[in-house]
Structure 1
Amino acid sequence: MWKQKIGDAIAASVTALFVGLGLTMVVSTVFLGLFLFTQAAWAADVPQGNDYCFNCHGQEGMSIKYQDKEISLAVDRESFENSVHGKLNCTMCHTGTDSFPHKVQYGPEFKEQMADSCSKCHQGVTSEFENSIHGQMGGFVSCTSCHGSAHEILKGDNPKANHYRFNITETCGTCHRGMVIESYERSFHGIALAYEYDKAPSCIDCHSSHNILPPENPSSTISAANIGSTCEPCHTGMINAGANLLNGKQHTVPEDKENGFPLWITWKIFLGLILFDVVMNGTIPTFELFRHLRNLKSKRKDTPHDLNKSL
C-alpha cells in the first residue's frame, strides 16, 4: 500500500514538474517573442538621418575601449558639416550601423571597412593607392593617414587642409622624418616652398600623390625612364638628361660627405669664399679707417695754433 502511495506521489511530482516546465517555456517564449518583435520594430523605426547619430556621437568624451586603448567615438558636428563630406549621410560610410545596437568591429577589420567605404566614391584613386608603395604596407598607411579624419577633410585649396600645397611637407613629415624631410627643407625647392612660392615643387610634384611607386618600378615618376619628364615642367631640357639625373643621392645634406661628395665640396668652397669675403670686407675698411684717422691727426698737427683753435 505504502509503495503505491510513494509511486503516485512521484508520478504527481513528475507531472507537476513537466507541467511547470511547459508553462515556463510557453511564458518565456511569449515574452521573448514580444521582446524580439519590439526590438525589430524599434530598429526598423530608427531614424537614419545624421541628427539621430549626433544624439550620441555628438557628445564630447564618447569612447570605447579596444585592446586596452581608449578609442574616441565623438564627432565634432561643426567640423563635419564644414568638411567635404558634410552633406553625406553617416550610414553611407558607416555601413552596418543602421540598426541598434551597432554591429561594428574595431581594429584591422574596421580599417578595411573604411577603405571599402572610400572606394565607393573614390574608385580611381583607391585603385591607384592600392597599387602604390603605401597601399602595399598591409594597412599601415590608409586614406586618413594623409587626409586626416574623414569627418574633418577639407578641400585642397583650404590652408587648413592636410593636403594643402604648403602643408604637404608637414603631412609627409609625420612618417618621413630624418634625412628625407630635412634634406628637402634645406634644398632650394624646400626653401622656396617655405616662402609659399606658387611654383615651388612639393613632395607630390615629384613623387605624385596616390600612385607613389619606388624608383625601381618603370611606372614610377622618379624611375630612370620618367625622371626627365617629371623635372621638365620646371626645368626645360631635363627630359634629355634622362637617367643621368639619378646619378648620386637625391635626398642628402651638405654635411653628408660620403653620400653627396659633389654637394659637400661645393658647400666647403662656398663657405671658404664667404669667410674670405667677410674677412676682406671687414679688414680693408678697418685699415682704411685707421689711415683716414692718422691723416686727420697729421693735418691737425700741421695746422697753425690759432687756426686750429678757431676750428
Structure 2
Amino acid sequence: MEHISFKELLNLKGKKILHTTHVKSDCDGIASIYWGLSIFGGSYFIPPYELRSAAGLIEMLNLKNSTDSIDDFDIIFIYDTEKRQDLPFKINKPYVIFDHHHKRDGEFVENALFCYIEPSSANVINLYNLSIKENLPLNDEILFSFAVALYTDTAMFRTAREGEFFYFSKFLKNRRFEDILDVVYYKDIDKSSFLKTIKKAKFYNINGLNVCVLKFKDNDQFYGFVDGLFNILNLDVLIGILKEGIKIHVKKRYVQKIYHMLFVPIQKKLNIERVQGIWMNFFDYKILLKALEDYKGG
C-alpha cells in the first residue's frame, strides 16, 4: 500500500469522512474523534460505550448525533486502535489510523492510507504532538477533552509519570481538576446496587498478595470499586466478574510479574478472546487464584 503524507491527508477535507474508534468506546477514542472533526470535518460514529466517563465526555462535547449510516463515506478515520477486530464494523473503504499502541495488527496498519502511531499512554498525547508539529489549532475544549482522556487512560493517574503530568498541565490549562471529575462521574451510579455488590466481595491472601474476587453489575461498578476502594483496601489484585467475562486489575508493579507471566499464558492456552481488557466468556476465577500460588514474590 502506498502511503500519503499528512499534508496530503489535509487535502482530503472535501471528501466524505467518517471518524470512529474501537468497540466499547472510551474517553481517549471520543476525544480523538472530536479532534478529528475539528481538523478534518466530516461525520462520526461512536460505538456503544459502557462507562459513565464516556457518557460525560459525549455530553460535554455535544457529540450526540452519531451517524447510523456507515456506508456513504469515502474514507474512514480510525482512532485509538490499530486492530481490525476491535472496530465496530467491517472496513471496506480507504482508511487512516491514529493510535498509540504497538502495531499489534501489522497487516492492517500496513494497508492504511496514512497512519500516525507512536507508543504512548494515550492517543491524545500523539494528537497533541502532531498538532504542535503541524501548527494545527487546538481550542480549549479540545484540550480539556484531552485532559479527561489522559486522566482516564492512565487509570485515574495510577500509571502516570512525569511525562503524563507534563502533558496534563498543557491540556488542563486554567481549569480545575474537579472539572474533570464532574465529567468522569457525570452519570449517577446506583448507590443501593453498588453497596449490595461490594458486600459480596471475597478476599484472599495468596503468597502475600491481597486478592479480591467480586461479581459486578457493570463496568461502572468495577471502576467505581477500583477508583474508591482498591487502594484503601490495600489490594494487589482484583478479579472482577462481569456479564461478558472476567476483568482483572493489578497494581502497576505487578503487571509484568503477575498479569503477563501468570495470567496471559492461561488466556493464550485456553484461547480466550480479550476485548478492551475483558476475558470474554471466561468466568472460572479459581484458575487464576490457582495460578497466583506460583507467584514467587519480588
For normalisation by structure 1, the TM-score amounts to: 0.22
User: Which structure is richer in relative contact order (CA contacts within 8 A, separation 6 or more)?
Assistant: 2
Bigger strand share: 2
Larger radius of gyration: 1
For normalisation by structure 2, the TM-score amounts to: 0.23
